[in-house]
Amino acid sequence: MKTISCKVLVLGAGPGGYVAAIRAGQLGLDTVIVDGQAPGGTCLNVGCIPSKALIHAADEFEAAVHFSGKNKLGISVEKPTLDLSKTIKWKDSIVRRLNAGVTGLLKKNKVQLVVGWGTMQDGKTCIVETDDGQLAIKAENVILATGSVPVEIPSLPYGGNIISSTEALALKEVPERLVVIGGGYIGLELGTAYAKMGSKVTVVEAMPSILSQYDKELTKPVAASLKALGVEVLLNTKAKGTNETADGLVVELPDGKEQTIDANKILVTVGRRAKTENFGLEGLDLTMAGRVVAINNKCQTSMNGVYAIGDLTGEPMLAHHAMAQGEMVAEIIAGHNRTFDKVAIPAVCFTDPEIVTCGLSPDEATAAGHKTKIGTFPFAANGRAMTMEAEVGFVRVVARDDNHLVLGIQAVGKGVSELSAAFSLALEMGACLEDIAGTIHAHPTQSEGFQEAALQALGHALHI
């Protein structure tokens, strides 16, 4: 067996892993990164990027359908058709371009990419199964970045008509009837996309509300949009299994009665869990925090020289969280004094309309003991939103009552994902309401809603 040695071994080339490797290479550290699939991990290959491509295609198709009928803009087109196979090819081309980009960046920074599935033998040694046979890698420092996998329902194992988000992003045709199990962000993003492409979509959610991690004011516009699209949402409803012919889902309704919902495809999106198997975790002496690897504020595990980042360390399971951790760990290994002390990590739900949260919600701020000032500005009063036919939604700012320090910012509306950077920056810079209100925001833009929300909290909004 061939053996190579390095300063840093990164196991997993997802967002956290490849960023860690690139930064380590920039810092002059001899670095090897291992993964059995193309660089980019779940996010780039079968998650964030391809799902947003599918959502965009669905939005464009829905717009074309809209303009084939009566509309306010006076645009008239023939009734459109959708060739999903071509859409998927376009989506795949984007993924390939980004794969190549990550590979190029690793090479540019002198990081060795080993393609194969790695198994840790101990805290310093990894055995990789490559096409050319086994390769042993010995490293002074190890960064575990194995990511996460979809949660499977025992009574609904994946296969055939029962699919995960991975298969949902590679369908060859739009299913006539799609049942989505799970009313979280993954299920609603994909369910909304397929509804816009023509599927009859039913969402089955065991909880009493969709998007349970968000407050009702944020989810109301999403629920209204689902209804307008003809999506049926069954709350307090449990998925039991398939019927005898496997073309329907048996559910238990709130009253305890069972019902079968016809389905060509059943999409299971009940969450993700840290990938803790098939890479030798059981052979490492790591302290666990439940089902995830326990780390400190430097992403150090209980083993000397072994770090863990990203979904393997638990919530929030977000690519940008993993990236920030990966960059930091590379700098720590290079001797820099770094700790993970972010004020807030933004989260975006790419439903229709989109939701952005950063920092504390009103309820979370109250629970933390803060007396608050809250300002809200509706897009119905925003000129740019009107010109985009995007008047649904609002921006909300939560601040301390005493010194006006901003604690959290939320928004729901068309395209509000692009406001997430401004929200994060305000919190990281320790902005007060007066800072946001006193910053000139370009007109006409949706970002003016941010300024107006701060003004409203101060008691003198200008446009409501």
Q: What is the pLDDT of residues 39-61, one digit of tens each?
A: 999 999 999 999 999 999 999 99
Give the confidence band of 416 by pLDDT, cuts at 50, 70, 90. very high
Return d(Cα 343, Cα 30) in angstroms, integer: 32
Return d(Cα 47, Cα 45) in angstroms, integer: 6
The yes-or-no verdict on residue 316 having pLDDT over 90 is: yes
Q: Say what the pTM is.
A: 0.96
pLDDT one-digit tens code per residue, 195-217: 999 999 999 999 999 999 999 99
Across 286-331, the runs of DSSP E, i.e. the strands, are 288-289, 292-293, 306-308
State residue 71's pLDDT score: 94
pLDDT one-digit tens code per residue, 86-139: 999 999 999 999 999 999 999 999 999 999 999 999 999 999 999 999 999 999
State residue 245's pLDDT score: 81
State residue 355's pLDDT score: 98
Return d(Cα 137, Cα 11) in angstroms, integer: 11
Give the confidence band of 229 by pLDDT, cuts at 50, 70, 90. very high
State residue 283's pLDDT score: 87
All structural domains of the chain, each given as residue ranges with its CATH number in brackets, are 2-149+274-333 (3.50.50.60), 162-270 (3.50.50.60), 347-457 (3.30.390.30)
Which residues are within 8 A (CB) of 11 and not within 5 positions of it... i.e. 6 or more apart? Answer: 17, 34, 35, 118, 120, 126, 142, 143, 144, 145, 146, 279
The HSE-up count of residue 344 (CA atoms within 13 Å, CB side) is 26
What whole-number percentage of the chain has pLDDT above 90?
98
State residue 332's pLDDT score: 98
Preceding amide of 378 cis, omega within 30: no
CA diameter of the chain:
72
Tokens in use for 223?
């629920």
Residue from 225, 227, 218 nearest 394 by CA? 218
Give the confidence band of 335 by pLDDT, cuts at 50, 70, 90. very high
Is-catalytic flag, 320?
no
Tokens in use for 283?
């052979």
Segment 162-167 mean pLDDT: 97
Question: Which entry of 336, 443, 460, 463 is annotated as an active-site residue?
Answer: 443
State residue 250's pLDDT score: 97
The yes-or-no verdict on residue 359 having pLDDT over 90 is: yes
Beta carbons of 321 and 309 less than 8 angstroms apart: no
State residue 246's pLDDT score: 79
pLDDT one-digit tens code per residue, 241-269: 999 887 899 999 999 999 999 999 999 99
Residue from 181, 176, 177, 145 nearest 163 by CA? 181
The yes-or-no verdict on residue 398 having pLDDT over 90 is: yes
Beta carbons of 8 and 312 less than 8 angstroms apart: no
What whole-number percentage of the chain has pLDDT above 70?
100
State residue 244's pLDDT score: 83
State residue 401's pLDDT score: 98
Beta carbons of 349 and 338 less than 8 angstroms apart: no
